[in-house]
Amino acid sequence: MSEVVSYQLKDNIGVITVNNPPVNALAQVVREGILNAINTAQDDASEAIVLRCAGRTFIAGADITEFGKPPKEPALPDVLSVLENSSKLVVAAIHGTALGGGFETTLACHYRCAIASAKVGLPEVKLGILPGAGGTQRVPRIAGVKAALDMITSGNPVAASKAKDMGLVDELVSGDDLEAAAISYAKELVASGAPLKRIRDIAIDPATIEPGFFESSRKQVARRARGQIAPDRIVSAIQAAVELPFDDGLKKERELFLELVSSSESAAMRHIFFAERQAAKIKDLPKDTPTRAIKKVAIIGGGTMGGGIAMCFANVDIPVVMVEVNDEALQRGLSIINKNYGITVKKGKMSEERMQTRLELISGTTDYADIADVDLVIEAVFENLDLKKEIFSKLDATCKQGAILATNTSYQDVNAIADATSRPQDVVGMHFFSPANVMKLLEVVRGDKTADDVLATAMKTGKQIGKICALSRVCYGFIGNRMLSGYGREAQGLLLDGCTPAQVDSALENFGMAMGPLAMGDLAGLDVGYKARQSRTDLPDDPRLYRMGTVLVEMDRLGQKTGAGYYKYDPETRARMSDPEVEALIKKEAEALGVEQRDISDEEILQRCFYPLINEGALILEEGIAQRPSDIDVVYVYGYAFPAAKGGPMFYADQIGLKNVYDKICEFRDRYGEDYWKPAPLLKELAEKGSSFAEWAEQQ
Ligand code: 3HC
Ligand code: NAI
């Protein structure tokens, strides 16, 4: 028997234990071990078999690191076929998360028991693939076609009690000893003469499926996951479960799985899976760096960001005190939080009781003395350096020693803010994204003097409140906003050159961005960028630069809030509509500025908008602002809705080939000038060597 899979007879039950830390992934040794154990159990004295896992979780899926490498025997579907055809009853005992191939393994067992805290799920779609070991064939047979489709196309896990209601799990067991509970469940089943329930034998009556169900599902998933192929193939696989005999359905599923696993979409999504986990690691900080306990938090400023940040902490049961300038501002801030939770309750996503518990965790004050005892302060007042410095010197005078003082600033110098205190080692940036209670990204900004334990605590706290953290050094706009500036500039420049707003946005939306940059400008308010530009002294004196954004603001077309910006908006539905007035205005402006308009391809739109991101990303890497190219990808996927299926801007650049990117940037430089298009030295170097960002990262 292999070391990672053991087999023991306990009380006449053959117990197979998988022990492959950290998450019991189904590496080759695990597949082989399970196969051998099942075969052994066929001929020994066991009455039945229990399949369980040691450690923190049941099998969390196939070993993702094996994808893209030559397959190694035995294949999981073959192992599961032996499992399902076992002559002795097999019970899966689930704790933690039974995901992907792990959950599929349980579906090949005859019965499934789980503890209440367990979850089951088929998250393959999040890796650009589909369940490739029978999940698409077995789940519709026990949970129904619609539920299977929802579960597999969303990839979201299902809690044990719901899984039981759906028929995915047979029995919920309690007590601390899952192994003992599973053994007694197996004995009960044997004693009662329970049959070997093989899901494969359940037939789905095609007449129960509404006509047109699969066509409409296909359209629905295409709308939701723009440009991705995996959701579409999942519909096909489930359709096969309905229309074909089980073995043919399995064959179809395998065929689709193999197509997806070798797709660029899946390579990109697997890259993001590992990038996200890498980003949490700080290169020069040992894993065992001590952290400070965060039991109470203060938020300074209860505006757009402060309110959302307060909710993040209340959501994980950490008390928060919100500090505002006066009672009116405080009440306004608290009432927005109230309203936001109210919406979640109305949508049925939270109970009234849970909302009350969370609201009780959030208190307010206008007196800094009330936050003397907090462990972490996050400042989220107006974006003004002098104001922030003033607040930090007040915090220095008020807060207990050892408290972490964080700023949510988007652009200001964290070192200058830290130097306004007598304890710069306790100051760090914690840059949330709007809406802060929803967006997954947290940029943790390391000041020159930030202490190691402060940094480690900021990363750990971010994870605790459900964020994906990426580390940035101090620079204007940190990683994300610094890179964004060229993206917005080019989106506007493309208008003068001949595009309509709809053309620019659709090209980017078809690529997979959640929203094009011009529609996004309308949503955020065009005055925001306008005001930010007014305070910048580093911009070239060029009337073409940000021309349309400026003209629209000066016409009081501020975006959705005034019903018109780059688009006009239906006052009732807020649907965006092209506005011929804007299109005429763009032509007029181009003419006045002497810009000759031309037809522009979608390919050029992508290049003009994305290549500045990539170029700035290269600068950020060589300056050491980001630790790795994959951290930049994480920032863009989780903070700016860059499609995971494209892997983030740096991965995307590697796919295009850095030489192609570099040559195009040089072409744009020759056309538009060095003020805007100046190839980063690192990009040039890698392009000339025929190398990639990924290869560069490996050598660091
Ligand atoms: N394969 C290989 N490594 C994996 C893995 C997997 N399936 N799942 C997790 N890991 C690694 C992580 O990369 C991480 O490694 P590191 O410590 O070196 O960074 C380590 O295990 C711990 O993972 P997390 O940090 O994510 O641990 P958490 O406790 O936060 O989360 C989890 C645990 C919920 C299980 C989470 O790891 C997860 O969601 N894993 C992926 C699950 C998944 O996608 N399964 C489907 C795989 S595809 C499949 O099964 C195909 C099949 O249909 C044939
Ligand atoms: P906001 O204008 O919505 O809220 C700021 C709040 O701070 C106001 O309610 C104001 O009354 C309060 N305030 C001002 N001075 C104060 C003081 N001395 N003490 C206590 N409260 C005070 O601003 P918003 O959008 O929430 O931004 C806050 C910070 O977060 C800024 O630094 C901004 O750059 C940053 N940020 C903003 C994002 C956004 O999308 N809005 C995204 C990420 C960061």
Which residues are CB-neighbours of 342 under 8 A, at least 6 positions away? 355
Q: Which amino acid is at 152?
A: I
Which residues are CB-neighbours of 291 under 8 A, at least 6 positions away? 453, 456, 457, 460
Residue positions counted in the chain: 700
Q: Report the pocket of ligand 2 as residue ranges, CB < 6 Å.
A: 300-306, 323-325, 329, 333, 380-383, 391, 408-410, 432-434
Distance of CA 575 to the CA centre of its chain: 27
| pLDDT averaged per 10 residues, the chain (length 700) | 87 97 97 98 97 98 93 96 98 98 98 98 98 98 97 98 98 94 98 97 94 96 88 98 97 97 96 97 95 98 96 98 98 96 95 97 97 98 96 98 98 97 98 96 98 98 98 97 93 97 97 95 92 85 94 97 96 94 97 97 98 98 98 97 96 98 98 95 98 97
Q: Do residues 653 and 693 make contact, with C-beta atoms less than 8 angstroms apart? A: yes
Residue 115: DSSP 8-state:
E
The closest alpha carbon to 189, from 109, 96, 266, 298, belongs to 109
Distance CA 189, CA 30 (A): 27
Question: Does the active-site annotation cover 695?
Answer: no
Distance CA 298, CA 103 (A): 41
The CA 228 to ligand 1 mean position distance, Å, reads: 22
pLDDT tens digits for range 520-545: 999 999 998 898 888 888 888 899 99
Q: In this predicted structure, what is the pLDDT of residue 534? A: 86
- Quick one: residue 657, left, alpha or beta (phi over 0 = left, psi -120 to 50 = alpha)? left
Strand partners, 78: none
- Of 104, 265, 379, 616, the active-site residue reads 104
2's tokens = 């292999």
pLDDT tens digits for range 93-121: 999 999 999 999 999 999 999 999 999 99
The CA 326 to ligand 1 mean position distance, Å, reads: 47
Sheet holding 158-159, edge to edge: 97-99, 119-121, 158-159
Q: In this predicted structure, what is the pLDDT of residue 537? A: 84
Distance CA 626, CA 279 (A): 10
Closest listed ligand to the CA of 436: 2
Q: Report the pocket of ligand 1 as residue ranges, CB < 6 Å.
A: 22-23, 25, 57, 60-65, 76, 97, 99-101, 104, 123-124, 127, 131-133, 135, 274, 277
Domains of the chain (ranges plus CATH)? 5-261 (3.90.226.10), 297-477 (3.40.50.720), 481-600 (1.10.1040.10), 603-699 (1.10.1040.50)
- Of 3, 32, 84, 124, the active-site residue reads 124
655's tokens = 């796919």
What are the angstrom distances between the C-alpha of 530 and each of 78, 471, 508, 569? 61, 29, 22, 21
Atom of ligand 1 nearest to the CA of 62: 50
The CA 60 to ligand 1 mean position distance, Å, reads: 6
Strand partners, 427: 405
The CA 370 to ligand 2 mean position distance, Å, reads: 20
Residue nearest to ligand 2 atom 8, measured at CA: 303
To test the pocket of ligand 1, the residue of 64, 287, 463 to mutate (highest count of ligand atoms within 8 Å of its CB) is 64
332's tokens = 């306004």
Question: Does the active-site annotation cover 66?
Answer: no
Q: In this predicted structure, what is the pLDDT of residue 538? A: 84
DSSP β-ladder status, 427-432 and 441-446: antiparallel
The CA 155 to ligand 1 mean position distance, Å, reads: 14
Which residues are CB-neighbours of 472 under 8 A, at least 6 positions away? 429, 431, 443, 444, 445, 446, 478, 479, 625, 626, 635
536's tokens = 């910048």
Q: Do residues 70 and 36 make contact, with C-beta atoms less than 8 angstroms apart? A: no
Q: In this predicted structure, what is the pLDDT of residue 175? A: 82
Q: Do residues 436 and 462 make contact, with C-beta atoms less than 8 angstroms apart? A: no
Closest listed ligand to the CA of 53: 1
Distance CA 243, CA 239 (A): 6
Distance CA 466, CA 208 (A): 40
The CA 340 to ligand 1 mean position distance, Å, reads: 32
**Coil, strand or helix: which one is 700?**
coil
Three-class SS string for 432-494? ECCCCCCCCEEEEEECCCCCHHHHHHHHHHHHHCCCEEEEEECCCCCCHHHHHHHHHHHHHHH
Residue 171: DSSP 8-state:
E
Sheet holding 468-473, edge to edge: 362-365, 320-323, 297-300, 376-379, 404-407, 427-432, 441-446, 468-473
Extended beta strands in 28-104, E state = 48-53, 89-94, 97-99
Distance CA 235, CA 249 (A): 12
Closest listed ligand to the CA of 414: 2
Q: In this predicted structure, what is the pLDDT of residue 3? A: 83
The CA-based diameter of the chain, rounded to the nearest angstrom, is 91
The closest alpha carbon to 694, from 652, 639, 643, 637, belongs to 652
Q: Which amino acid is at 45?
A: A
Distance CA 74, CA 91 (A): 22
Q: Do residues 61 and 102 make contact, with C-beta atoms less than 8 angstroms apart? A: yes
Closest listed ligand to the CA of 96: 1
Distance CA 636, CA 656 (A): 17
